[in-house]
Amino acid sequence: MTKMNRRQTMALMGAAAFTPMAPAILRAQTAALPDTMIWSTYDVGSTGYVEATAIADAMIKSYGTRVRLLPSGSGVGRLMPMLKGQANNAWLANELYFATRGVFDFATPDWGPQDLRTICGRPASFGIVVTEESGIKTIDDLRGKRFAYAAANPSVSIKVDTMIASKGLTRDDVEVIEFPSYGDTLRALNQGLADAAGSALTSSALNELEASPRGLRWLDFDPNDADLWANMNKIAPLFSPFRETIGVGVTGKDPVNIVSYKYPMITVKADANPDETYAFLKAVHENYDSFKDAAPIMERWHIDLISSTPLDAPLHEGAVRYLQEIGKWSDAQQSWNEGAIAEIAALREAWPDFVEANQGLSEDEFATAWNEARAKVMAGL
């Protein structure tokens, strides 16, 4: 994920330590919050870590709730403390979708679909960046062009596969060129080794491309194109339209229509205490003014943004109850949430019989067989 500069990181890291109790009246107002919380987060230096630190600092100062952050560089590493009861929540990205559906790292007999819920999630933008010299102006123009993919990076790959599917394209319609890392895919554009790549709009690696003779362009995802978004949802129902005003080659005067997903998503187990998840979301909402200026991205923790759907997992019942009370929960959101809960339940019900019937398969064979079984389950919903 995007790195923050050293000044922003160091200024906020102090919130990871324990601090004294705040006035008792504020503690009484949020009695359902534990006195001590442990949050599993992305690595130090990532935006997710900085965001968790800023919100932890607000809770420490307002309520005296002691917060400790447990950073990890992997999705499994962020999930395990919560699943083992060693952390109250986990701050996740698309690994949440993978875990609840039992795909990629979680398509093994020891894992499978996990019963998880979200409290909220901050919108993040992602797009397809192309070189101006390539002549690519629309998604359809990607046909036959060199598309840079990062090897063994399912979080980026699922976004790219979904975005090109918006116009009916698959990897077979582009010339896939694999590079060792996400950063390498972006550098490949500047080096003339690829024409397009998937990227966060704030990726610093794109600054050099913007300043080079090759130039850069972001492809447009029309928010009013119903077929485009329907095609995307067939692959992964995680994304929604977003008009981005911040990023390389993007300004408030020159925004782009882009794809939004959620990162980070504050995640809990499905059986988490609903009074605690209610109180947690309430605390984030009521303390917004105290942390929104901690880093540029923090303004996107406004309740109108973090309460929106879709997310990679359904919202927890306690979070839903709070959103209902403040008038931020619609019939459409309720329908989406019920559908997401039903999807995870159906996959979890199918998993034990699938594992029993597919013992002895290799890791790749097992994952392939589960993807086929999962598609059948989904088709029956």
Q: Give the pLDDT confidence of 186-205 residue by residue, as tens digits.
A: 999 999 999 999 999 988 88
C-beta of residue 56 within 8 angstroms of C-beta of residue 264: no
**Distance from C-alpha of 142 to C-alpha of 351, rounded to nearest angstrom:** 37
Q: Give the pLDDT confidence of 285-337 residue by residue, as tens digits.
A: 999 999 999 988 999 999 999 999 999 999 999 999 999 999 999 999 999 99
Q: Give the pLDDT confidence of 85-134 residue by residue, as tens digits.
A: 999 999 999 999 999 999 999 999 999 999 999 999 999 999 999 999 99
pLDDT score of 32: 81
Residue 28 pLDDT level (bands cut at 50, 70, 90): very low
pLDDT score of 47: 87
Q: What is the pTM of this model?
A: 0.87
Question: Would you state the CATH architecture of domain 6-124+263-344?
Answer: 3-Layer(aba) Sandwich (3.40)
pLDDT value at 78 more than 90: yes
Instruction: Give the right CATH number for 126-260 from 3.40.190.10, 3.40.50.740, 2.30.30.90, 1.10.10.10.
Output: 3.40.190.10
Q: What's the per-residue H, E or C state across the chain?
A: CCECCHHHHHHHHHHHCCCCCCCHHHHHHCCCCCCEEEEEEECCCEHHHHHHHHHHHHHHHHHCCEEEEEEECCHHHHHHHHHCCCCCEEEECCHHHHHHHCCHHHCCCCCCCCCEEEEEEEEEEEEEEECHHHCCCCCHHHCCCEEEEECCCHHHHHHHHHHHHCCCCCHHHCEEEEECCHHHHHHHHHCCCCCEEEEECCCCCHHHHHHCCCCCEECCCCCCCHHHHHHHHHHCCCCEEEEECCECCEECCECEEEEEEEEEEEEEECCCCHHHHHHHHHHHHHCHHHHCCCCHHHHHHCHHHHCCCCCCCCECHHHHHHHHHCCCCCHHHHHHHHHHHHHHHHHHHHHHHHHHHCCCCCHHHHHHHHHHHHHHHHHCC
Q: Give the pLDDT confidence of 136-169 residue by residue, as tens digits.
A: 999 999 999 999 999 988 999 999 999 999 999 9
* Per-domain residue ranges of the chain: 6-124+263-344, 126-260
The reply to whether 126-260 shares the fold of 6-124+263-344 is yes
C-beta of residue 41 within 8 angstroms of C-beta of residue 81: no
